[in-house]
Chain A
Amino acid sequence: AQKVTQAQTEISVVEKEDVTLDCVYETRDTTYYLFWYKQPPSGELVFLIRRNSFDEQNEISGRYSWNFQKSTSSFNFTITASQVVDSAVYFCALSEAIQGAQKLVFGQGTRLTINP
């Protein structure tokens, strides 16, 4: 069965520091998708990125970057020059095929606190 492990339960840093959130996954599928979502206090899950298992290129979007390494089954997320508004719970997720669609298997989440 699919499994996602986010070993860091909580991280606290001072504003402007860089921070990396770890994600390790297990799957027997050859084709799959990996996701990162942000959950602010309001509760809504905000989509950040989707990565196809065949695409191991790292991606950068502004202050956010993602490092996908299939060899170690990891999909880590780095925030550069963190800001207080980045404070939230971040979830890594792995797709699992269901009838005609994909369901998401989430990790336990990492609570990130950025202190001013």
Chain B
Amino acid sequence: DTGVSQDPRHKITKRGQNVTFRCDPISEHNRLYWYRQTLGQGPEFLTYFQNEAQLEKSRLLSDRFSAERPKGSFSTLEIQRTEQGDSAMYLCASSLSDSLYGYTFGSGTRLTVV
């Protein structure tokens, strides 16, 4: 068990570019979540997958955001036409269906849009 891995750790991009982040959950975890954390704030829920199915999306997830989890394993989060307001830490978490211990979070991808 190597924990939840996120790649890259840091990403700097110019406004208007597209970016994609990857999350590898703990292998036996069937649930995967994406959260966004801006500076000085707590994480906010973006979206959730059970296996390969995306079951819930926050209204924070605008049309420029898309997430996938093909084959119920790793997940990707893509942001198209990035804006400065997208600058944040993007956190991925995974869990088993009825985990007593809540989620296991990854270390996050810090996005800076310049």
Residues in chain A within 8 A of chain B (CB atoms): 4, 33, 35, 37, 42-47, 50, 91, 93, 98-101, 103-109
Contacts and interface: CB of A to CB of B under 8 A. Distances in A.
A100 B108 contact: no
Contact of A101 (B55, B100, B104): B55
4 closest Cβ contacts across the A-B interface? Answer: A106-B42, A45-B105, A99-B55, A98-B56
B65 interface: no
B16 interface: no
A100 B89 CA distance: 26
A109 B42 contact: yes
Interface of B: 31, 33, 35, 40-45, 48, 50, 55-56, 89, 91, 93, 95, 100-108, 110
A46 to B, nearest CB: 8
A103 B45 contact: yes
Contact of A44 (B48, B100, B107): B107
Nearest to A93: B42
Given A35-B102, A43-B107, A50-B102, A91 B55 contact: no
Contacts, number: 65
A42 B107 contact: yes
Given A37-B105, A104-B103, 16 more contacts: A33-B102, A43-B110, A45-B43, A45-B91, A46-B105, A47-B101, A47-B103, A50-B100, A50-B101, A98-B55, A98-B56, A103-B33, A103-B48, A107-B42, A108-B41, A108-B42
B106 A44 contact: yes
26 contacts: A33-B102, A37-B105, A43-B89, A43-B107, A43-B108, A44-B105, A45-B43, A46-B105, A47-B103, A47-B104, A50-B100, A91-B42, A91-B43, A93-B42, A98-B55, A99-B55, A99-B56, A103-B45, A103-B48, A103-B56, A104-B35, A104-B102, A106-B44, A108-B42, A109-B41, A109-B42
Contacts of B107: 42-44
Nearest to B45: A103
A106 B48 contact: no
